Amino acid sequence: MRRGLRFGLALLVAGWIPVFAGDSGRGRSRTETSPVFWLSDFSQVRHATAEMNRHKMGIFWLMKTRELTPGDAITVWFCGWNDPTECVNGPGTCGSDPADLEDTVPGSFCWWGNGGIVSNQGEVVIGGVARVNQPPGEKLFGELTRPRKAEINLVVKTHGAPIPDQLLEQITTFDGGCAVNQCEELQIAVFTAH
């Protein structure tokens, strides 16, 4: 299991190297940290955090969360707003009004970020790379165009217990397994624009 995790992280880092290689040194990246919250009541998930490194060519993110149902298939959705001034209540509040969650908000986007299986302890360590205008998987709508200025939400969605003939869809698509299992967005990490 550890070897698989290390291999997966090595591939993740290798996928990120070309993003940095395209920078001639003029742009600086910055790392931000966010707690993880329950969407049901916005209470903080104990000992859960997310980190994001912004760069002009994209964003690398890593989430360490817990208190999920052991063995469940999950996805993390990388959603945001390139211009937070377009949000109903302005910057720092994107997603707080239901109207912000529509695909008609100028500069908004929502993509598959990554997926996996919750550990026996109810924990997940998962990360991904979002390159400018290059969704890594299923794209619900929009494009990331301003990685340094965008307001970002990482949303953890459960797809329930693995279904043998649907597992790939459960961890890579928005509705994978939802016809059989109850799917629900459970947790969120919020990165406001700076």
Torsion, Cα 90 92 93 94, to 10 degrees, reads: 80
28: pLDDT confidence band, cut at 50, 70 and 90? low
Q: What is the pTM of this model?
A: 0.84
Secondary structure (3-state) at 86: helix
pLDDT at 22 over 50: no
Q: Is CATH 2.60.40 the classification given to domain 29-191?
A: yes
CA 113 from chain centre, in angstroms, equals: 5
Alpha-carbon distances, residue 16 vs 54, 130, 151 (angstroms): 12, 9, 20
- The per-residue pLDDT for range 121-176, each reduced to its tens digit, is 999 999 999 999 888 889 999 999 999 999 999 999 999 999 999 999 999 999 99
Each domain of the chain, given as residue ranges in start order, spans 29-191
